[in-house]
């Protein structure tokens, strides 16, 4: 009796373990499948994107095709949200949008399937620039260009003295954290002036340097004609909300 009872208990125990392993396996399979689905990107979910400038050039309209019931968000590359909502049909038209850059990001989601596109805006759009100036950053201090959520890119400027009279050297390190377009460090995006307001010659090395998203680059700025005067180096592109300046002592 005891032997039969033990055998029966062993069989029940083995069956319980088998059922437990089966349940765990099924649960893991479902979880992995859901995770795979949640990470699915499908560009076909967002198509026929058209961006047009108004007749006055003060705003834009955005048209695109998707699936009815999809949710969408539109923002510029400075993370300013322009629109959000849910599509009632497979086409959407939005008017009177005023981005702060010449690029916008459109995101569409439907049943855990996502689509995201970076779209350029016609240059006929007149970007509104604020008359407020940004406080200059001291040499040896990191400047962080922040959107509405987090740091998009950072700049660190360090002064290095040159053996040539009237020449100054600035070593600039740029980290593109999450800026959707390359940070363009070409010389034409920089300007330099001294305390007297006189323009100073600047040469960037390398001459054409673009920092891609997730990358870090260094550029050497050669300034001539300022001797030991205090000067201000300004970096500016049309896509920035405000210029970025560094004080050179």
Q: What is the average per-residue pLDDT within 226-240? A: 85
pLDDT of residue 37: 46
Helices (H), the chain: 2-38
Nearest-angstrom CA–CA distance, 131 and 117: 31
Residues 6+ apart with CB under 8 A from 245: 134, 136, 137, 232, 233, 234, 235
Q: Which residue has the tokens 């859901």?
A: 34
Q: What share of the chain has pLDDT > 90, as a percent?
A: 55
Neighbours of 27 (CB within 10 A): 10
Q: Does 12 score more than 60 pLDDT?
A: no
153, 49, 127, 129: which is closest to 91 by C-alpha? Answer: 49
Question: Which tens digit of pLDDT belongs to each residue from 178-189?
Answer: 999 999 998 889
What domains appear along the chain, each with residue ranges and CATH number?
43-120 (2.60.40.10), 137-248 (2.60.40.10)
The 10s digit of each residue's pLDDT in 127-182 is 887 777 788 999 999 999 999 889 999 999 998 877 677 788 899 999 999 999 99
Cα separation of 125 and 81, whole Å? 18
Position 27 pLDDT exceeds 70: no
Q: Is the pLDDT of residue 95 over 60?
A: yes
Sort strands 190-194 and 210-211 into parallel, antiparallel or unpaired.
Answer: unpaired
Q: Please identify which residue in the block is written with the tokens 């010389």.
A: 187
Beta carbons of 235 and 143 less than 8 angstroms apart: no
Residue range 193-215: mean pLDDT, rounded: 81
Q: Is the pLDDT assigned to residue 11 strictly greater than 50?
A: yes
């Amino acid at each position: 009796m005891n032997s039969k009872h033990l055998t029966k208990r062993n069989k029940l125990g083995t069956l319980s373990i088998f059922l437990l392993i089966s349940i765990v396996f099924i649960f893991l399979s479902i979880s992995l499948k859901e995770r795979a689905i949640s990470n699915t990107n499908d560009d076909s979910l967002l198509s026929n994107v058209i961006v047009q400038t108004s007749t006055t050039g003060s705003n834009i309209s955005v048209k695109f095709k998707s699936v009815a019931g999809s949710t969408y968000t539109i923002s510029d590359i400075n993370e300013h949200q322009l629109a959000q909502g849910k599509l009632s049909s497979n086409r959407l038209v939005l008017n009177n949008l005023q981005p702060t850059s010449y690029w916008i990001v459109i995101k569409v989601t439907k049943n855990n399937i996502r689509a995201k596109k970076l779209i350029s805006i016609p240059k006929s759009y007149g970007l509104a620039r604020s008359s407020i100036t940004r406080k200059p950053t001291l040499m040896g201090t990191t400047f962080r260009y922040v959107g509405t959520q987090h740091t998009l890119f950072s700049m660190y400027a360090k002064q290095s003295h040159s053996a040539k009279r009237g020449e100054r050297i600035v070593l600039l390190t740029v980290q593109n954290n999450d800026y959707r377009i390359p940070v363009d460090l070409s010389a034409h995006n920089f300007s330099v002036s001294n305390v007297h307001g006189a323009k100073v010659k600047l040469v960037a090395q390398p001459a054409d340097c673009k920092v891609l998203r997730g990358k870090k680059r260094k550029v050497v700025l050669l300034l001539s004609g300022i001797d030991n005067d205090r000067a201000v180096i300004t970096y500016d592109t049309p896509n920035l909300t405000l210029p970025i300046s560094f004080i050179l002592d």
